[in-house]
A and B are shown apart, each in its own frame.
Chain A
Amino acid sequence: MDCIIIDDEEMARTIVEQLAANNHDVDIVGSFSNAIEAIKYLNENEVELIFLDIHMPTFTGFDLIKTLKNPPKIILTTSDRNFAIEAFEYECIVDYYVKPFMQERFDKGIQKALSFGTNKNVEHAKATLNDVNVLYINIDRRLIKIDIPTIKIVEAKGDYILLKTDNKNYTVHSTLKKIEDKLPKDTFLKVHRSYVINTNKIIDIEDNSVLIEKDVIPVSRSNRPELMRRLNLL
């Protein structure tokens, strides 16, 4: 694979060059200390993989990715051990190395890059079919797509549930238990026998209730400890 390195630190570039020299699958065809120089090169040359430092002054690694129309595979390099998941919002990012890294870790990333092209389409297809952020509800024989993060409150109303989202409310023939099982457990919580709420939408909490926009939702005594555990309390 033809690769380039983009890192403002010469030591980091030297290390990647050395590790690449010991790996037969990669060939370093360019090494750049800033993103602008690299973009000029990329406008005239094709590469298969970029080793990209995220944290560069004035123009970050993420800025560079956004400027590329068809970015090649990218392995990010970073000194942040608590690396943000933001990286995987970009389809082209194959892996990331936390500096300093060794040959074994470097080689593992290269293997991922080599298999990335073949797996990508399958993974993408799977993700489309089984999008974890989406829920379909059946109303009048129509399946309506709901983006799960937009759901604020689910309220049990007899044989029905009232689903309140950022945009619209829906009444669906279902049970609270059924929908609770479909919602991600890290953001949704049953706070009362008749209510499941999206904890990200809470504005205010009192002793036995929470405020979500204009709705005051009761919190039962038995569910309160779990709610308090979930909150990022100061």
Chain B
Amino acid sequence: MQNKPNRWLLIKLLSGVVCMFLFALFVMPPLYNMFCEITGIGGKTGGPYQVTDAGVDTSRTVKVQFVATNNAAMPWEFSPKVYQVEVHPGQPTAVAFFAKNSTHRDMVAQAIPNVTPFNAAEYLHKTECFCFNQQPLKAGEEADLPLVFIVDKDLPKAVTTITLAYTLFDITDRVADSLVQVN
């Protein structure tokens, strides 16, 4: 007697459930990442930057610090070549990180960048960064990993020090897995 309205309601509610499930699985993660990149939540930075305006603001100096961290069991030596530089906003600056794979096996690493204070994240542009790619190093091999960055001229006046931190993750197994899948 009540079956028809019930069935309709059931279909509507179940599709609501499915939508919410898909929302959690496929919308929330990209939405969150987009949100992070726009607002700098979690100090996330964007991808390669195209220089649009070559002017340099010589009236201001900003300290940029470099920090390196190895995640979990990542055994490489990994450190910035210089700990701190002073730059003018708008001026491209090249620095490097030192990395050495001291183990006896070939490995692949991925560096994840992170900027503090968070509200500076969107004003630190990288035109060239080792973090854009995976970093393979053979057993015993060492390398200087390049980084070129520009501090935006619109950086809020209150920010005088920016810390750019890289965390190095061992992704050798992940890379191997995906190779197996491709083959």
Task: Report if A and B associate in a common complex.
Answer: no
Interface residues, chain A, with chain B CB atoms under 8 Å away = none
